[in-house]
A and B are shown apart, each in its own frame.
Chain A
């Protein structure tokens, strides 16, 4: 079964508007970490934001915020005031505790296109 599901292969958003990228995850652990990365066409995977499973507050980092709903196992990324430079692939990822060396499991990604 997929651990990370990103149901939106592609999204369009108007410049300066907000956009939400969906991510649901599957785990039986109580402790885990959730990450969002941005990958522009150059290929580099850029870390955006982190949410720990025990964090009571939704994570925020500049224009990025995470809408964390633990009971629903969802961790949607919200980008406010979209910019043309936000056009990229966005990946949701999860790490679970696993004997000290824990692989980061990625979803298939969402391609975001920001339109002027």
Chain B
């Protein structure tokens, strides 16, 4: 596989469920990101990992929990979500965290919370 992959592509879950989104990059990059894209809103950065070190984003609710076990994999653990969390969740990676480094995105996971 090449580029950035995300699984699952679609997910429907109830508010009491626990699920995880997975992202894998095959580009040899050192930085990975989670974004949320809601309808009619600009993309919102959720989390950044650089060399497996997390950069906190204080505005993200604790029901979203990221995990980066190595530089190729990134997870987003979900629990007790709300219907307003329904969105497209995009993972991205870049060579490094520098402002000149292009971010390459995966195809996204479309999440619906019932």
Within 8 Å CB of A4, what residues of B?
Answer: 42
Pick from B17-25, B43-51, B63-71, B72-80 the stretch touching chain A: B43-51
Report the minimal beta-carbon distance from B47 to chain A, rounded to whole angstroms. Answer: 10
Q: A75-112: which residues lie under 8 A (CB-CB) from chain B?
A: 91, 95-98, 100-109
Q: Is the interface of A mostly helix, strand, loop or mixed?
A: loop
- Knowing A44-B105, A95-B99, A100-B97, say if A106 contacts B92 (CB, 8 Å): no
Q: Decide yes or no whether B90 CB sits under 8 A from chain A.
A: yes
- Known contacts A95-B99, A97-B99; 5 additional CB pairs below 8 A are A44-B106, A91-B42, A101-B31, A101-B48, A106-B42
Residue of A33, A42, A44, A109 near B99 (CB, 8 A) is: A33
Knowing A103-B45, A104-B45 are in contact, say whether A43-B108 is a contact too (CB < 8 A).
yes
Residues of B within 8 A of A (CB): 31, 33, 40-43, 45, 48, 50, 55, 88, 90, 92, 97-100, 102-108, 110
A46 at the A/B interface (Cβ < 8 Å)?
yes
Query: Given contacts A43-B88, A45-B90, A45-B92, are A104 and B107 in contact (CB under 8 A)?
Result: no
Interface band, chain A: 20 to 34
Query: CB-CB < 8 A to A97: which residues of B?
Result: 98-99
B104 contacts A108, CB within 8 Å? no
A68 within 8 A of B: no
Partner of B105, one of A31, A33, A46, A95: A46
Inter-chain contacts of B103 with A (CB < 8 A): 35, 47, 104
Contact assessment for A91 and B99 in the assembled complex, using a CB-CB cutoff below 8 Å: no
Q: Are B92 and A102 in contact (CB under 8 A)?
A: no
Cβ–Cβ contact A45 & B100, under 8 A: no
Report B-chain residues with C-beta under 8 Å of the C-beta of A42: 107
How close is A103's CB to chain B, nearest CB, in angstroms? 4
A selection of 6 A-B contacts at a CB cut-off of 8 Å is A31-B99, A35-B103, A42-B107, A104-B103, A108-B41, A109-B42
Shortest Cβ distance from residue A33 to the other chain B in the assembled complex, whole angstroms: 5
Partner of A107, one of B42, B48, B110: B42
Contact A35 B55 (CB under 8 A): no
